[in-house]
Homo-oligomer: A and B are copies of this chain.
Amino acid sequence: MYKQVTTTSSGSAEDSDSPPPFTIGIPLFEDVDALDVTGAHQVFFMLGSYNVATYLIGPKKGIPVTTLENMHIVPDYGYDDHPALDLVYVPGGYGDGFTRLYSTNKGPFYDFLKKACDSAKYICSVCTGALLLAQGGYLDGYNCTTHWAFKPALELFPNVLVAADWPRYVIDRNRITGAGISSTIDTAFAISAILVGEEVARETQLRIQYAPDPPYRSGDPSQAGPVTMQSVSNSIGTTEAYDVIRKSLQREGRISG
């Protein structure tokens, strides 16, 4: 639990006598989902006055990363040059750049992930970010979840325990994994409650007026009608992800061919 301190707008502690901040790192990569990143970043930012600092970490400091929505976000730090992280929050993505990332468990992103996860107190993801954590081996033996359409792909990892149905997030010891895209907000609130307590989480909820009221009940397979399910399932690339990961795991000898 972190006490309230005066902070700068970046969420880092202003007073040099104050304890070092609790640091959260959100990696960026090509075709990352922007809302996966910013929904959680917004909630974590509100913890700035409780000495929680949140950083965006991209391949190279200062070089914009292009999201799947073709938005360009400038990372605060690079993969090989960032403050030590207490919590890693891996967002998901979609598209060719993201497919290349989950088709392997090697390269600069996984080097970053290994170093960050080796020292982090919490290892978290949202949406298809769970595929990256699973590739790195960080979900072996843990209950977890991911975007509803990518559960079959996550279930390919032989030691990963994928939760039944479509919970907004799953907490298993120090692994906290969120479901698809918009669940990043619920997941970040669950993390906030762990880090700074329920009352601060409630205050943040009021600050960002999080009293959601979707116009329809269509947000997961338990809600959506058959026509909607069919249309989205046909176009969302579930099969491609499944095939790419299956081949990757066979190639690495992690599952039998």
Contacts and interface: CB of A to CB of B under 8 A. Distances in A.
A209 B220 contact: yes
A236 B233 CA distance: 43
Nearest to A231: B203
Contact of A214 (B11, B71, B210): B210
A65 to B, nearest CB: 10
A139 interface: no
Contacts of A218: 201-203, 205-206, 210
A69 B95 contact: no
Given A202-B225, A209-B220, A215-B193, A181 B231 contact: no
Given A193-B215, A203-B232, A208 B220 contact: no
A120 interface: no
A202 B216 contact: yes
A208 B35 CA distance: 9
Place the interface of chain A in its size category: 35 or more
A34 interface: yes
A153 to B, nearest CB: 15
A72 B38 CA distance: 11
A183 to B, nearest CB: 6
A10 B42 CA distance: 24
Contact of A181 (B42, B180, B182, B220): B42
Contacts of A217: 211
A128 to B, nearest CB: 11
A220 B202 CA distance: 10
A209 B219 contact: yes
